[in-house]
Chain A
Amino acid sequence: MKLIFKRKSKLKEIFFEKIFALCSYLSILTTVLIIYILATESFQFFKQIPITDFLFGTHWEPLLEPKSFGVLPLLFGTLLIVIGSALISIPLGLIIAIYLSQYASSKARRIIKPILEILAGIPTVVYGYFALTFITPIIRIIFPDAEIFNALSGSIVVGIMILPMVASLCDDALQAVPKSLKQGGYALGTTSFEVIKGILIPSAFSGIISSFVLAVSRAFGETMAVTLAAGATPRFTINPLESIQTMTAYIVQVSLGDTPQGGIEYQTIFAVAGLLFIVTLMMNLFSNYIMHKYREVYD
């Protein structure tokens, strides 16, 4: 006795597969469009301003006469934020991850992990507000000559912002270290600290580095918090108490103003965004590369 079946339509199968494939290729279209738009508009810009003037000029004054288009002040402003926030988030994030993966009880983990997630989910504009109305006043008490908008406040708040990301990515990397390795260490009579230092961190090293790079890239592209807290004064400075302007904050400033479409001022945002895109892309690719390499080791 056999069951009698109706034949299935092969066409339907193929149709669905094609639709699904189409959706996933949309992401490539997105990348292509981003690159196309940034490239074409930047090309217009660089037809008028030599690329060396842009990359190595130390004066950024595209909106007022006499105009000058040296991106270094914006780049330095951005780097100030990036370095400051990295100094906060990287060591703290790693320590939190170590505590979570090594010392914390499962009960403590159950409390800390969601809090980190909530912190990571708070909109950047809220962090900007917090910097402006809470961190900056404290900074100005400690350093009375700090300006209302200053790089330090921006760095601190961006550091707080990316801290949860560093912590949870490092935690993932530490968790991925096989238990047997850890137990091998304990079997030799080592303490937890020695296992962390000698086994856990070296084994998870590329995962940890990859998370650092990702965090730095995130700080590089961060917009709202620095727009609110760090100011709108493109300055070629390394003094964190001064008002600066990041690349992202400049783009916001232009789009908030009445800059006419098609003019050179307007094209600057594409040139700046292009630079921003290239730098973050390199960091993301690098992070992805080391992450991928490390995955293979323990699979």
Chain B
Amino acid sequence: MIKNNLKNRKKIDSIFKVASKIITWSSLVVLAVLLYHVSITGISKLSLDFLNNFPSRFPHKAGIKSALSGSIWMLTFVTLISVPIGVLSAIYLEEYSKKNRITRFVEINIANLAGVPSIVYGILGLAIFVRFFQLDRSVLAGSFTMSLLILPVIIISSREAIRAVPKSIRLGAYAVGATKYQTIRHHVIPIALPGILTGVILSMSRAIGETAPLIMIGALTYVAFVPETVMDPFTTLPIQVFNWASRPQAAFHEVAAAGIIILLIVLLFMNAIAIFLRNYSNKKYDF
């Protein structure tokens, strides 16, 4: 005999449904609270002067010119270093490597590197780039360090994009006598490109927001100038924010909030591009 407890069971179901809905949406409210809190604290400090001034002992004179330009310098070199290496690695792992022990080892290794705490990369950068190669606390040392940090992320996301290219396209190319390289160069890469770019942009935004590794290589110093060569010392947006936020005076907290607003605007802009690219790639080549 089946007991008819459906009513009761349905009640549990709908309670759970409502509860999970409330929990989900209220977790998202955190974002709104965070944005609101930062905005009302920092908005008053936001001005053209803020963008044009160098850091200062006085909160009302402090600006982010050196930090903003440092971030841009670093991002440029991180892109130049990590994107080619990352994408080529992904191509190798996805298209060339045989499914053997070595490949498996490389894959596990990359997955683990993606989970290594960023501060450990900072220590690596300190020992290798700052000291061994004597790059000092330069833009170049920071860029190399940050490149190693985001390489696993670029490799993993690029592999996903490459894997999403239908196998039939590759076979079609081979069937007309194309070599592997030609197939990859003319078909796989163009089709995977939007997906690869999405991953690249997301890892770039990670690089822009990372702080700890740069602190390790000594980028937290008073830098009141814009870097002119790759060997110049530099500071970046999140480091400047950290610097201001860790001071006890409330006035500096306002400056920090203003810095955060700029940082978030940059990130939001990058995220928007990534989302746009992903939607674009989802629509095309859907077969």
Interface residues of A in 255-285 (CB under 8 A from B): 255-256, 269-270, 273, 276-277, 280-281, 283-285
Residues of B with Cβ closer than 8 Å to A? 6, 9-10, 12-13, 16-17, 19-21, 23-24, 27-28, 30-31, 33-34, 37-38, 41, 84-86, 88-89, 91-93, 96-97, 105-106, 108-113, 115-124, 126-128, 148, 151-152, 155, 179-181, 202, 205-206, 208-212, 215-216, 218, 220, 238, 241-242, 245-246, 253, 256-257, 260, 263-264, 267-268, 271, 275
10 contacts between A and B (CB under 8 A): A12-B181, A13-B179, A27-B113, A121-B206, A124-B211, A125-B211, A227-B242, A270-B123, A281-B115, A284-B112
Inter-chain CA distance A34–B213, complex, in Å, is 13
Please provide the 7 A-B residue pairs with the shortest distance between their CB atoms, ordered closest to farther.
Answer: A221-B117, A123-B209, A20-B92, A284-B115, A24-B89, A191-B13, A99-B20
Contact B256 A20 (CB under 8 A): no
- With an 8 A cutoff between CB atoms, is A63 at the interface? no
Inter-chain CA distance A41–B127, complex, in Å, is 10
Q: Which B-chain residue is minimally distant from A287 (CB atoms)? A: B115
User: Given contacts A98-B20, A103-B21, A119-B31, are A27 and B151 in contact (CB under 8 A)?
Assistant: yes
Contact A114 B275 (CB under 8 A): yes
- With an 8 A cutoff between CB atoms, is A239 at the interface? no
Contact A128 B245 (CB under 8 A): yes
Q: How far is the CB of B48 from chain A (nearest CB, A)?
A: 23
The residues of A that contact B253 with a CB separation of less than 8 Å are: 129, 132-133
Contact A28 B24 (CB under 8 A): no
B-side interface mostly: helix
Contact A20 B209 (CB under 8 A): no
Contact A121 B212 (CB under 8 A): no
User: Given contacts A23-B89, A27-B152, A223-B117, are A252 and B20 in contact (CB under 8 A)?
Assistant: no
- With an 8 A cutoff between CB atoms, is A55 at the interface? no
Which of A43-51, A64-72, A177-185, A212-220 is the interface stretch? A212-220
The residues of B that contact A13 with a CB separation of less than 8 Å are: 179-181
